[in-house]
Amino acid sequence: MAKPGRKPISDERLNEIADQVVERLKTGKSLRQACLEIGVIYRVLARWEKDHPWFKERIDDALDFCQGWWEGKGQQNIDNKNFNAALYFMHMRNRFGWSNSDNLFKHEHSGNIIIEVVKFGGQKNKDSESQK
């Protein structure tokens, strides 16, 4: 609902704006770039997201497409000797929350771990028998 002094926006117009934003995000543009191109102030768009959950959901979905577009750029250039992988990683880390932390792969567990070593040909290693 519009506050006093603000003109309410129709769902139809908001849907048109969402279409325009989605179109730009699918080409890797940032949300602020999309706002600039369609002439919408970013903080106004953020208010619409707050006031219209369906609108926010469309924008959030498009941000996933945006990340996919950028991931595709990295994949396309993986064998390119001139590709600046460090800059690409910094961009992805800052824009999409990528991390180079080892903590992503550490898992805590409790209990026993049983490791069975099998030699080529299906014969069990004598060490594995004694560790059981």
54-113 pLDDT tens trace: 999 999 999 999 999 999 999 999 999 999 988 988 888 888 887 766 555 555 667 777
How many distinct helices (H) and strands (E) make up the chain?
Answer: 6, 0
79 assigned to some structural domain: yes
126 assigned to some structural domain: no
112 assigned to some structural domain: no
Tell me the pTM: 0.67
130 assigned to some structural domain: no
Q: Which residue has the higher pLDDT, 2 or 42?
A: 42
Mean pLDDT in residue range 18-31: 96
Cα 1 from Cα 129, distance rounded (Å): 71
Q: Which domain holds residue 73?
A: 11-100
Q: Please state the domain count of the chain.
A: 1
Reported confidence tier of residue 26, pLDDT bands at 50, 70, 90: very high
| Helix (H/G/I), strand (E/B), else coil: 78 | coil
61 assigned to some structural domain: yes
CATH number for 91:
1.10.10
Are 95 and 106 contacting, i.e. CB atoms less than 8 angstroms apart? no
Mean pLDDT in residue range 12-38: 96
123 assigned to some structural domain: no
